[in-house]
Structure formats: C-alpha cells, structure tokens
Homo-oligomer: A and B are copies of this chain.
Amino acid sequence: MRPNKRDELVSKALKVFYRDGFHATGMDKLVVETGVSKTSMYKHFRTKEELILAALRLRDENFRDWFLKRIDEMAETPVEQILVSFDALKEWFEEDEFRGCMFIKAGAEFQDPDHPIHVQAAEHKQFLLDHFTSVAEQAGAQDPHKLACQIVLLQEGAIVSAVLLQHCDPARDAKDAAKKLLASALN
C-alpha cells in the first residue's frame, strides 16, 4: 500500500477545493483538513498547482464514472440515455454537498486559456462532448456533433442555473428541452 496516503491526500484536498474554492484554500488549511503534514504534501506534489491538477484528475474520474454508470443503469437506448442524463444531474443537484461543477469553477478561477488547470477543465468538458457525440451517432442523429453540443449546452446551463437560480427546476426544464431537440434532430 505505497501510494495510500497520497490518494487520501488528493481525495480530501478535492473535497476542500470543491467546497471552498482554489484560491480560497491555503496549504495550511489543507494540513488541518486532510490531516497530512505539509512536508508530506510537498514530497508528493512540488507545487499547489500540481495538487490541484491531481484533485481535478480524480474529480474527472469520479464524476465520469458516476455519471455514465448512472445513465447506463437508467436507460438502454441512445435516445433514452440522453434524456436520463438530466435525471442523473437532478440527483446530483439535490445532494447536500452540491456546489456546482468543479471544472466550470476551475475555468473561472484560472482564466488564462493556456493555464494547465484551465486546459484540464476544458478537457473534461471535451470528453463529455465526445461521449454524447457518439451517443448521438448511435441514436441516428442527422448532425451528431451539433446535437451533442446542444445537449452538453443544456447540461451546463442546468448546472449553472441550479447554482444561481431559485424557484426553478433546471434539470426538469433541460430534460424537457432535450426531448424537443431530439424529436426534430432524429426526424
């Protein structure tokens, strides 16, 4: 069990970064919250930025695993898979610890498009776009890439609305919109 402490550090740091933000989380706070000594942190990661990148990689892995697995559990056909993705989002929004999308936040805190953290956030979104592009192909869409862009766009919009708007049910509204898009994209 060599890299055990390292994994524990990354997964606890992930929680803190997600809850409090990147700039707002100092290394000293991480020492307290993770229970890992600063010396040890800097033995595993040369800089805070490397730790953030590792936390984002873990988040990417966790979220993709959960999201795609949940979709697979709930639906069989490609069209249904696109639709139930919004039900999965709704489950996420209703979690107590829900604090929006970590990658949108990472892109917002590190705005330079060439910054490694921004790049990694973009890659996460690109992966999801690619995934839904292939689902759209399987569904027989006329323009799979465009449909996928629209589905992802609805998902992003739902996440942002879930964070900033009240008296709305963005997951439901987005699913409803997706239904109409699918109806005309498949003819």
Contacts and interface: CB of A to CB of B under 8 A. Distances in A.
B164 A157 contact: no
B165 A126 contact: yes
A160 B177 CA distance: 18
A168 interface: yes
A47 interface: no
A36 B113 CA distance: 29
A2 interface: no
A155 B177 CA distance: 13
A14 to B, nearest CB: 15
Interface string A121-152: 11001100100000000000000001001101
A5 to B, nearest CB: 28
A108 B108 CA distance: 7
Interface string A166-187: 1011100110110011001000
A80 interface: no
A161 B149 contact: yes
How many subunits of this chain does the assembly comprise?
Answer: 2
A152 B181 CA distance: 16
A169 B180 CA distance: 20
Contacts of A146: 173, 176
Interface in A97-124: 99-100, 103-105, 107-109, 111, 121-122
A6 interface: no
Contacts of A177: 150, 153-154, 177, 181
Interface of A: 19-21, 23-24, 99-100, 103-105, 107-109, 111, 121-122, 125-126, 129, 146, 149-150, 152-161, 163-166, 168-170, 173-174, 176-177, 180-181, 184
Given A150-B173, A150-B174, A180-B181, 10 more contacts: A23-B109, A100-B107, A109-B109, A125-B165, A149-B168, A149-B169, A152-B161, A152-B165, A153-B157, A154-B154
